[in-house]
Amino acid sequence: MLSVDFEKRLAGFHLRPRFAADDELVVLLGPSGSGKSLTLRAIAGLLRPDSGRIELPAGPVFDAALGLDLPPQARNVGYVVQDLALFPHLTVAENIAFGLYAWPREAQRERVAELVELLGLQGLEARLPSAISGGQQQRVALGRALAARPRVLLLDEPFNAVDAPIRNALRREVARLRRQLGLVAVFVTHDLQEAYALADQIAVYDEGAVLQSGPRDAVFRRPASVRVAQLLDARNIVEGRVVGRTEAFIELETPWFRGRARPDADPSAGSGQTLATGATAALSIRPEHVILLRRDRPHANDLDTTLDVELVDELATGNNHRLFLRVVGPGGPTDCVLEADVSAHPYQVMGVASRRDWRVALTLDETVAIPVAGD
């Protein structure tokens, strides 16, 4: 069990994170400057909160009410900082062994050999950090953090400095190591893909606070607010008003069209808000769930919202084409532009580039109604 709930006032910044997680990998996701790294520093014992409580699996490490504040040396956390901070004057082996100085020499040697093997650093033991590659440096930083067998691993955007292929490999490795060693890991990133790929749980940060936290899919599928949906890059967020509810869907009226959202999308359990008829709410769907159709072909699922659109712009991202589609209403083109992702193959087969008029289906199961605050 990891639980973080504290406040810290800094010059021009009010940090007040709050989340809890079981023995798994928690991703702190949010824009840079939203307080994710400071939260890690507080967990590690390098930033002292003004009030609140931090509990690690082995027990509380900070509790303002009890006057408890364990020093970093006593918290038994492995901490990989953003620029790694490998000791440049020490070899790979010496870096890994840094936290083991109290161990008997023979045990140190064995533990270093074990980690070198685990991380695939054989043959580099005597090198200085400046003489190994970026990916290898990441592994050394991991090894150094894991050496003294911490229960908690804190990772602050550790893979920023390496190329994409190595980054993917390292991500998988972190996930594997975490499971293998039974660690709680807190992973800070502003990269949505990285967050999605790694997270068991996600805490979405904005301006010092956690806006929403919970299991990854719950957060991605049920953003609690428009801001969370924006931070999760949902792209299509259209404000409107609830005009009807059935067992099967919530119906929303937006200035441009009438759409249906999944009924379980109501996150009232968490926020206490309900989406009664007349409530202001936003309809949101990620671009990958917007299905492109030809206007002359019928669509099977009649609960999906179907809209006539015209293609106004597109952006190729390699595997994908991001299409910008203007909704066409009965009175002609509107101001509402939706984004849809089409993979390279259907893009070719459908001849997207050669045609302007399309229809989209907003998959009901992936369309959520988000309560709009201040209503």
Partner 1 sequence: MSERRERPSAGVDATRVFAPLALLFVAFVAVPLVALGWRAVESGELAANLTSDLVLDAMRLSAVTSTIALALAILFGTPLAYLLARRDFPGKAVVDLIVDLPIVLPPTVAGVALLVAFGRRGVLGGRLDDLGLDVAFTTAAVVLAQLFVSAPYYIRTVKAGFEGVSPAYEGVAATLGASPLRIFRRVILPLSWPSVLAGAILCWARALSELGATLVFAGNFPGRTQTMPLAIIGVFDAGRPLDVAIALGVILVLAAAVLLVLLRLAARSATRPSF
360 contacts: CB under 8 Å, gap ≥ 6: 290, 291, 292, 293, 306, 307, 309, 325, 338, 340
Among 57, 72, 215, 263, binds partner 1 (CB under 8 A): 72
**Residue that the structure tokens 């509790």 belong to:** 63
128 touches partner 1 by CB under 8 A: yes
Among 17, 49, 78, 143, binds partner 1 (CB under 8 A): 78
CA distance 75 to 138: 22
Please choose, out of 125-133, 241-249, 275-283, 354-362, the segment that lies near partner 1 by the rule CB under 8 A: 125-133
Nearest CA to 126 out of 97, 90, 99, 159 is that of 90
Could you tell me how far CA 123 lies from the centroid of its own chain? 35
Total site size for partner 1, rule CB under 8 A:
29
Please choose, out of 57-65, 143-151, 234-242, 332-340, the segment that lies near partner 1 by the rule CB under 8 A: 143-151
Please choose, out of 74-82, 277-285, 290-298, 335-343, the segment that lies near partner 1 by the rule CB under 8 A: 74-82
Among 16, 144, 216, 222, binds partner 1 (CB under 8 A): 144
The residue among 45 and 49 lying less far from partner 1, judged by its C-beta, is: 45
104 touches partner 1 by CB under 8 A: no
243 contacts: CB under 8 Å, gap ≥ 6: 251, 252, 253, 258, 277, 278
Q: Are 17 and 211 in contact (CB under 8 A)?
A: no
Instruction: Report which DSSP code applies to 198.
Output: H
**Residue that the structure tokens 């893909």 belong to:** 193
23 CB burial (10 A radius; 0-12, 13-18, 19+): middle
**Per-position x/- string for 189-228, each x denoting binding to partner 1 as judged by CB under 8 A, each - no binding:** ----------------------------------------
Q: Are 146 and 177 in contact (CB under 8 A)?
A: yes
The residue among 121 and 362 lying less far from partner 1, judged by its C-beta, is: 121
Among 28, 29, 61, 77, binds partner 1 (CB under 8 A): 77
Among 9, 14, 48, 89, binds partner 1 (CB under 8 A): 89
The residue among 178 and 216 lying less far from partner 1, judged by its C-beta, is: 178
35 touches partner 1 by CB under 8 A: no
Q: What is the 3-class SS of 247-305, one letter each residue?
A: CCCEEEECCCCEEEECHHHCCHHHHCCCCCCCCEEEEEECHHHEEEECCCCCCCCCCCE
Q: Are 256 and 335 in contact (CB under 8 A)?
A: yes
Among 25, 81, 184, 202, binds partner 1 (CB under 8 A): 81
The residue among 127 and 245 lying less far from partner 1, judged by its C-beta, is: 127
The residue among 28 and 368 lying less far from partner 1, judged by its C-beta, is: 28
Among 32, 73, 180, 354, binds partner 1 (CB under 8 A): 73
Among 12, 32, 65, 101, binds partner 1 (CB under 8 A): 101
The residue among 116 and 202 lying less far from partner 1, judged by its C-beta, is: 116
98 touches partner 1 by CB under 8 A: yes
CA distance 257 to 325: 14
Residue 92: in which H helix or E strand, if any?
helix 92-96
149 touches partner 1 by CB under 8 A: no
85 touches partner 1 by CB under 8 A: yes
Apex 272 CA angle, 270 and 278, nearest 5: 125
Among positions 46-65, residues that touch partner 1 (CB under 8 A) are 46
- Give me the residues that bind partner 1 (CB under 8 A), please: 41, 44-46, 71-73, 75, 77-79, 81-83, 85, 87-89, 98-99, 101-102, 128, 130-131, 144-145, 147-148
